[in-house]
Structure 1
Amino acid sequence: MDIQSIIGELITLLIMALALGMDAFSVGLGMGLIKLRLRQIFYIGVTIGVFHIWMPLVGMLIGRLLTDTFGTIATLLGGGLLILLGIQMVFSSFKKDDEPLITPVGFGLIVFALSVSLDSFSVGLSLGIYGAKTFLTVAIFGIVSMVLTWLGLLVGKRVQNWLGSYSEALGGAILLAFGIKLLLPF
Structure 2
Amino acid sequence: MTVALMALALSMDAFSISVGIGLLGLRYKRIVLVSATVGFFHMIMPVVGIIIGRLLSEYMGALAFFIGGSGLIVLGMQMIISSVKKEPSSLFSPIGTGLVVFAMSVSMDSLSLGLTLGVLGVNTWLISTFFGVASAFFTGLGLMIGKKAGYWLGTGGEWIGGFVLLIFGVKMILTPF
Tell me, yes or no, whether TM beats 0.5.
yes
Deviations 1:75-108 (A, max 9, x none): 6xx98xxx9x95422xxxxxxxxxxxx2111100
TM-score (norm 2): 0.68
Whole-Å separation in 2 of the counterparts to 1:146 and 1:18: 11
Match of 2:45 among 40, 55, 58: 55
Q: Aligned residue for 1:137?
A: 127
1:88 aligns with 2:90: yes
Amino acid at match of 1:36: L
Say yes or no: does 1:64 pair with 2:54. yes
Higher relative contact order (CA 8 A, sep 6+): 2
Secondary structure, aligned partner of 2:95: coil
How many residue pairs align between the two structures? Answer: 143
> What SS does the aligned partner of 1:52 have?
helix
Between the aligned residues of both structures, percent identity stands at 44
Task: Give secondary structure in 2 for the equivalent of 1:36.
Answer: coil
Between the aligned partners of 1:44 and 1:52, the Cα distance in structure 2 is 12
Q: Which runs of 5+ in 2 are unaligned?
A: 58-66, 80-84, 167-177
Letter in 2 for 1:88: S
Please state if 1:107 is matched with 2:129.
Answer: no
Q: Tell me the alpha carbon deviations over residues 1-50 of structure 1, each in whole angstroms, 9 at most, x when there is no partner.
A: xxxxxxxxxx1100100000111111111111112100000000000000
Deviation at 1:64, TM superposition (A): 1.2
**Counterpart Cα distance in 1 of 2:138 and 2:46:** 17
Task: Return the alpha-carbon distance in structure 2 between the equivalents of residues 126 and 104 of structure 1.
Answer: 29
Unaligned runs of 5+ in 1: 1-10, 90-101, 161-166
Change (3 A) 1:86 1:52: farther
**Alignment map for 1:11-30 (pairs within 5 Å):** 11-30=1-20
Please name the residue that 1:6 is paired with: none
Once residues 56 and 86 of structure 1 are traced to their aligned partners in structure 2, the CA distance between those partners, rounded to angstroms, is 29
Q: RMSD of the TM alignment (CA)? A: 3.3
AA of the residue aligned to 1:38: Y
Question: 1:146 maps to what in 2?
Answer: 136
Distance 1:157 1:86 in 2: 19
CA distance in 1 between counterparts of 2:33 and 2:88 reads 21
1:41-70 Cα shifts (integer Å, max 9, x gaps) = 00000000000000101000111123769x
Alignment match, 2:114: 124
Cα deviation, residue 134, structure 1: 0.6
Q: Please say if 1:37 is aligned against 2:39.
A: no
Query: In 2, distance between residues paired with 1:49 and 1:86?
Result: 25
| Cα distance in 2 for residues equivalent to 1:26 and 1:87 | 12
